[in-house]
Amino acid sequence: MTTDEKSYLLSTIRDVPDFPKPGIVFKDITTLLNNENAFGLLMDELVKRYEPMNLDFIAGIESRGFIFGAALASRLKTGFVPIRKKGKLPFTTVSEKYSLEYGIDEIEMHIDAFRDKESPKVLLIDDLIATGGTAEAACRLIKTLKADLVEAAFIIELGFLNGKEKILKHTNFYSVLEIE
């Protein structure tokens, strides 16, 4: 992706100051999603990167990872697997806990998310990586189900928070856009 294309995508993402709490600048991707040119450019870039990898599944982290993951899975003609917060999935699950600045949270996947495929090739995707706690838990969760976690991809990386370092302990890392 060219520097101009990255600048264009960044220009379609709205900053919302003091959300969800004072001092945070929230990166609102809804303005990228409702721009057909920007969303198309982003998806074309992801398809170009991941089509040669012959993935079996794309796993997306609740909730914005669902948007990008399901769209990419459809374009690559592969399965999509949701990674959800505890208690949101209706069948037998495996779970992984992770630390938050104010406590502990937990994410889950269905135990048969990869349909008993042996060593499925999986891509993890989410809209943004900050400190990396949720994404690292998702990496561990995918590996618990004996999958080959090919890469973790993020639309936006907040580089100054160093979340990438947690992911590199588990798999390859890719971000479309980096904000320092």
Active site residues: 64, 101
Residue 58 · residue 123 · CB < 8 Å: yes
Q: How far apart are CA 63 and CA 60, in angstroms?
A: 8
Residue 129 · residue 158 · CB < 8 Å: yes
Q: β-strands 79-85, 57-61: how paired?
A: parallel
Long-range contacts formed by 67-73: CB under 8 A, 24+ apart: 67/33, 67/127, 68/42, 68/125, 68/126, 68/127, 68/155, 69/125, 71/43, 72/43, 72/46, 72/47, 72/123, 72/125
